[in-house]
Amino acid sequence: MELDLSGLENIEIEGSGQGMATSKNNVDIVFVIDDSASMEPVIDGVEKNINGFINSLQNSGKKVDFRIGFELYGNELFTKCSLTDNVLYFKQTLQEKRKLETGGGEITLVAVDRAADHDWREKCHKYIIIFTNEPLSTNDQYELQLTKYDELIQKLKDLQIKIIFLGQDCPDYRRFKEIKHCSYEPIDNYDQVDYSTLLETIGKSVSQQSGGKAGNSTSVNKDLYSILFGLTSVENVEEKSGATRHDSV
């Protein structure tokens, strides 16, 4: 599968000199994955090829200081792996949390909002990579999600988060292209995706752009949806203490 990642080319975050600093190749990446049954190929692909993704980050001629995390979501439960530099821990947590029943529907914008609330480092490049095979209009709580969409877009802009969208094309999701540094790549059938190539391509693109400037963190409102006013449960997974840096299997 050929991907056009031109939305990530020549990235240099705009801002005042006071708010800018050299990133020293710091990159934080959160995967947002729809956890419905039909998304099994994606979760399998990320789990099996995350090492290739990290290798492509590291083999670009410069040392990238990375952290990765995820949000798995349905319409009844969100599970989270906090940002970590321990690849083995990321994989083990993904293997464990994908077994949980998250519900048969999707609430995508809430998951993206939760991803934006991760503990980003100061002076780092921030990425959210979104996988979903359902248009927003078929999501649970569709109208309620739309009530905060403008605020969510502005929040992503304020945090200077770069979006990589790899999912079902629809007018609602095209709004992510309002964010200056967005790569929007519709995928109709995840069964036909070569995840090894896909993740390596994304890793190389992220690595190539990691040496520029990155903004400091800014103050934004967290949990814009108030977890849908208590309708949805949340399970947070924090990194275990004593984790070895950059472990892989």
pLDDT digits (tens, 9 = 90+) for 31-50: 999 998 889 999 999 999 99
More confident residue, 60 or 38: 38
Please determine, for residue 215, whether its predicted confidence score (pLDDT) is greater than 70: no
Q: Which pLDDT band holds residue 165 (cuts at 50, 70, 90)?
A: very high
Please give the pLDDT value at position 138. 95
Please give the pLDDT value at position 125. 93
Please give the pLDDT value at position 5. 56
- The DSSP code for 11 is -
Q: Are 185 and 3 in contact (CB under 8 A)?
A: yes
SS3 content of the chain, % helix, strand, coil (to 5): 40, 20, 40
pTM for the model stands at 0.86
Please give the pLDDT value at position 180. 87
Please determine, for residue 75, whether its predicted confidence score (pLDDT) is greater than 50: yes
Burial 162-174 (b: 16+ CB within 10 A, else e): bbbbbbbeeebbe
Alpha-carbon distance of 120 to 127, in angstroms, equals 10
Element (H, E) at 114: helix 108-116
DSSP strand pairing (20-22 vs 233-237) = unpaired
Please determine, for residue 11, whether its predicted confidence score (pLDDT) is greater than 70: no
Average confidence score pLDDT of the chain: 83
- The DSSP code for 241 is T
Instruction: Catalogue all structural domains in the chain, each as residue range(s) with its CATH number.
Output: 26-237 (3.40.50.410)
Helix (H, G, I), strand (E, B) or coil at 238: coil
Helix (H, G, I), strand (E, B) or coil at 182: strand
Alpha carbon 50 to its chain centroid, in Å, reads 13
Tell me what the mean pLDDT of segment 140-153 comes to: 95
Task: Read off the pLDDT of residues 106-126 as tens digits, 9 standing for 90 and up.
Answer: 999 999 999 999 999 988 999
Please give the pLDDT value at position 37. 87
